[in-house]
Amino acid sequence: MAIAGITQDEDLALIADLLDIRVENHYPALEMPPPARLEMTQEVLLRYFKGLSHQAPVSHIDQAPDAKSITAGKMLLLFEDLHWIDPSSLELLDKLLEHLHVSPTMILMTSRPEFQHDFMPDARVIQITLSRLDQNASREMVVNLYHAITLSDTDVEQILNKTDGIPLYIEEMTYMVR
């Protein structure tokens, strides 16, 4: 947290609470209504990610300079399965896009096709749709995953029928057959 400039006890208490880390008597008790806690937690997280986006890479935490002297680095944030995101997290993601779009940060998000959300227009959001693999590509994937052992045509067909062209399922089902 310190490398991103998050050092205040109140901020650390909010993050500890968010992560369900017990810190009795280490940080001040935060008595506030849930909406205020949510707003403050989101603010701390925004500052955290903004702080990270301005840091230079270091090989060991002991070598890290203090947050005020850190120079800009590059950062990748990955958010998977947005189709399961809760409203508060989606609100935070929108705020991240708003605040980080001018920093050297790439935010990669994955979701199922049914997830629809209007991200801010100037956030430079590019949507790339990854379709299911066709039968030939699926078959090639099974063969390449199973290159050392010969599968019967029946086994290959069962894998293809059960995985519906989804690469993760093809890989996992093929490994299960091994």
pLDDT digits (tens, 9 = 90+) for 57-96: 544 444 444 544 444 567 888 999 999 999 999 999 998 8
Task: Give the pLDDT confidence score for residue 56 in this predicted structure.
Answer: 55
Task: Give the pLDDT confidence score for residue 73 in this predicted structure.
Answer: 66
Task: Give the pLDDT confidence score for residue 61 in this predicted structure.
Answer: 45
Task: Give the pLDDT confidence score for residue 88 in this predicted structure.
Answer: 93
Task: Give the pLDDT confidence score for residue 67 in this predicted structure.
Answer: 44
Query: Residues 148-155: what's their mean pLDDT?
Result: 78
Residue scoring higher pLDDT (51 or 66): 51
pLDDT tens across 18-34, in order? 898 888 778 877 889 99
Query: Residues 120-148: what's their mean pLDDT?
Result: 82
Is the pLDDT assigned to residue 154 strictly greater than 70? Answer: yes
| DSSP codes, 73-129 | --EEEEE--GGG--HHHHHHHHHHHHHHTTSSEEEEE---TT------GGG------
- Residue 134 near residue 170, CB atoms below 8 Å: no
Q: What percent of the chain has pLDDT above 70?
A: 85
Residue scoring higher pLDDT (79 or 52): 79
Task: Give the pLDDT confidence score for residue 122 in this predicted structure.
Answer: 64
Q: What percent of the chain has pLDDT above 90?
A: 32
Whose CA is closest to 41, among 17, 21, 20? Answer: 17
